[in-house]
Amino acid sequence: MNILGLDPGLKETGYGIIDENKKVLDFGVIKGGNPFSQTKKFQSVISKHSLDFAFVEDAFFYKNPRMSLKLGEVRGAFIYLLESRGIKVISIPTSKVKKALTGNGRASKKQVHFMVSNFLSLNLPDSSHIADAFACALAGLFSNVFKD
């Protein structure tokens, strides 16, 4: 079973792919200024892997409503792409991701990065997008979703 974690962003989207044994299969950052260009670039990534589940970080709410709407467009484009390929997509709140990895739903980015590195035995690049994506995948793996 292969699990994708996705951290959608306005200019960059981080992704991390692990298997059920926490083996790292792939990771990176998709750069692009709009949802279409990001998802178009991402198609080649998901074509290389047989993905069973995708855990997508819930939308972050900006003080500026336009930014929240734009982030929603990015998330929607990725969710559509994944679902159209038969990949089960599950949204996961940031606080639940942090709690699953650190025991604290209000953990700092630095704490999440540290725990992701430990869980995966990986020297992660200094990218919060990649760490957050792997955090989503790990939180999904640790959840009860697969017990049904």
- Active-site position among 12, 57, 113, 132: 57
Told to judge if 132 belongs to the known catalytic residues of this protein, a careful annotator would answer: no
User: Look-up: residue for tokens 């995708």?
Assistant: 54
- Active-site position among 7, 12, 113, 132: 7
Q: Among the residues of 17-64, which ranges form H helices?
A: 35-47
Q: Which residues pair with 27 in a beta bridge?
A: 16
Distances (CA, A) of 28 to 41, 53, 65, 76, 129: 12, 18, 28, 20, 8
Q: 8 with 128: CB under 8 angstroms?
A: no
Task: Write out the two tokens for 104.
Answer: 């604290």
Told to judge if 126 belongs to the known catalytic residues of this protein, a careful annotator would answer: no
- Active-site position among 20, 73, 113, 129: 129
Told to judge if 113 belongs to the known catalytic residues of this protein, a careful annotator would answer: no
Query: Catalytic residue numbers?
Result: 7, 57, 129
